[in-house]
Amino acid sequence: MAAAAVALLVGAAVIVSLLLFRDIDAVVTREVAAALENEAASYRLLVGEKGESALAEIVERRDRAVAGGVQILTESSGRRIAGNLERIPAAFAEHPLGAAFQYRPANASATSSGEMRRALGILIRLPDGGSLVLGRDIEVQIAATTRIRMTVFLAFASLALAGLAAGYAASRRVLQRVEAVGATARSIMAGDMRRRIPLSGTGDEIDGLSIDLNRMLDRIDQLMAGLREVSDNIAHDLKTPLNRLRNRAEAALRDASGEMALRDGLQHTIEEADELIKVFNAMLLIARLEAGALQGTTEQLDVSDLARNVAELYEPVAEEAGLRLLVDIADGQTIEANRHLIGQAIANLIDNAIKYSVAHASAAKGAESRRATFIRVGVVADGRDNVAVMIADDGPGIAAADRERVLRRFVRLEQSRSLPGTGLGLSLVAAVARLHHGTVRLEDNEPGLKVTLTLPRASPP
């Protein structure tokens, strides 16, 4: 990666310098050529006035007076008449108008040595057949362009290197943090579910991503914990009734007192099996709710209507249990929800309120055991966006410390273990609420328990 970046930058530097240098060369060449053309034009005027003999003088004067001047005047035979070149440079054979050529200064003392030097020149054919070459030494210009080239190249190269270094430093920092994410992921895969991605505290995008990932890990952790809890509880809450079922069947088989006993035993076995199926269905439903989404199963649901109907369904049961079922429902509260699930949730809450209306046995330590006298089913608007369904009673209630716990799967408080039930009723309510992006809250009804199911009117996408 790094090598490729360096190669790319160097390549760019070379291309830029080449473009620049070509331009510089062109500019220099054009300028020199233009100056020489001007000079030639002025000589042409002079020759017109004084005749061609004046040319030799001019060339000689140029020899003497013009620094860097390179020139030669020849007869038609090619013999030199004047000038500091020995002969017309061969380059003009190919480029008769103007050419770059090399020459050896005739007057070695004027320059330090007899080295070849570079010049630009133009060739003028004279009317008598002779030729005139006017040229200029361009060693100085070449030296200047070379210096410019060097400067530009160095500037560009150092700029490129600095950029590369800065980029490397920045990406190294990012890479280090990506590596931190990777390290966390690896240690989680190795089994350390408690590890989280460290944050830099700068609140940048990587921190934002890390926070999201950490939240996701928390959620996974939660689900795993739930799963662990379920498998622990399955051992107890499914194996116990399974064992009971088996015992019953066995006992019925052993019972020798006749067909009636056998029938009775089988009847009970079936009842036990039905209970197990109920637990199973509830478990599956919760699992499905926790894994799934509601897509396509919701409708515009009149909760007021539904709550009133479910309350009506339970009203005789409540009455039999000696409870007044009070209905305090605001009309026309609608939400986007699954009718069956919300119905099940409300049913579970009312059912619980009836079932646990009396504190059992060892339950209330200190306080004498309370008996509920009423259950209130309420539906109200909760702000503009939510609807609250409340089921409240004045029964024994649930101790503050236990309120969170009872929402979990299979959690049954000591005092209720003896009662029929799966320990899944409230978990199902919680799962239904979560699926609808709502909440379940358990509060002290002073006295009693108040459960509030808050549901958004419009389910978020």
Partner 1 sequence: MRVLVIEDDRETAAFLHKSLKESGHAPETAGDGESGLAMARDGGFDVLIVDRMLPALDGLALVKTLRAEGDRTPVLFLSALGDVDDKVKGLRAGGDDYLTKPYAYTELLARIEALARRTTPEEQATRYVVGDLVLDRLAHRVTRGGESIPLQPREYRLLEYLMRHAGQVVTRTMLLENVWDYHFDPQTNVIDVHVSRLRSKIDKAFSTPLLHTVRGAGYMIRDGNA
Contacting residues toward partner 1, per CB under 8 A: 267, 270, 273-274, 277-278, 281-282, 284, 288, 296-297, 309-310, 312-314, 316-317, 320, 338, 340-341, 343-344, 347-348, 351, 354-355, 421, 425
What is the Cα–Cα distance from 455 to 433, expressed in whole angstroms? 7
Beta bridge partners of 103: 117
Give me the helices (H) in 190-302, please: 205-237, 239-254, 259-291
Do 349 and 454 form a contact (C-beta atoms < 8 A)? no
User: Residue 437 corresponds to which tokens in the numbers above?
Assistant: 């992006």
- Given the complex with partner 1, which of 206 and 354 has the nearer CB atom? 354
Q: In the bound complex, what is the minimum distance in angstroms from residue 454's beta carbon to partner 1?
A: 21
| Closer residue to partner 1 in complex, CB, 353/387 | 353
- Minimum distance between the CB of residue 430 and partner 1, rounded to whole angstroms? 16
Interatomic CA distance for residues 71 and 134, integer angstroms = 5
Q: 């119905």: which residue's tokens?
A: 343
How many helices (H) and strands (E) would you count in the chain?
10, 12
- Minimum Å gap between C-beta 328 and partner 1 is 20
Are residues 404 and 441 in contact, defined by beta-carbon separation less than 8 angstroms? no
DSSP letter at 371? B
- Return the DSSP state at 449: E
Q: Which is nearer to partner 1, 110 or 277 (CB)?
A: 277
Tell the smallest beta-carbon distance from residue 435 to partner 1 (Å).
13
Look up residue 98 and give its DSSP letter: E
Rounded to a whole number of angstroms, the minimum distance from the CB of residue 324 to partner 1 is 15
CB of 378 to partner 1, least distance (A): 20
Q: Which is nearer to partner 1, 282 or 455 (CB)?
A: 282
Amino acid of residue 162:
A
* Alpha-carbon distances of 345 from 356, 391, 402, 405, 454, rounded to whole Å: 16, 11, 20, 18, 12
State how far the Cα of 341 lies from the Cα of 428, in Å rounded to an integer.
9
Identity of the residue, 354 or 391, whose beta carbon is nearer to partner 1 in the bound complex: 354
Distance of closest approach, residue 353 Cβ to partner 1, in angstroms = 11
Q: Is the peptide bond preceding residue 447 cis, with omega within 30 degrees of 0?
A: yes
15 vs 10: CA distance, rounded Å? 9
> In whole angstroms, how close is the CB of 271 to partner 1 at the nearest point?
8
DSSP state letters, 336-349: EE-HHHHHHHHHHH
Judging by beta carbons within 10 Å of its beta carbon (0-12, 13-18, 19+), is residue 69 exposed, middle or buried?
buried
Least distance to partner 1, CB of residue 440, Å: 17
**Closest to partner 1 by CB, 133 or 303:** 303
Q: Are the C-beta atoms of 445 and 332 separated by less than 8 Å? A: no
Task: Select 135 or 438, whichever has its Cβ closest to partner 1.
Answer: 438
Q: Least distance in Å: CB of 425 to partner 1?
A: 7
Q: How far is the CB of 170 from partner 1 (least distance, A)?
A: 52
* Element containing residue 74 per DSSP (H, E): strand 69-74
Query: Residue 134 forms beta bridges with which residues?
Result: 71, 122
State which residue, 94 or 320, has the beta carbon closest to partner 1: 320
Q: Which of residues 105 and 343 has its CB atom nearest to partner 1 in the complex?
A: 343
381 sits in which H/E element: strand 374-382
C-beta of 36 vs 440, nearer to partner 1:
440
Closer to partner 1 at the Cβ: 17 or 352? 352
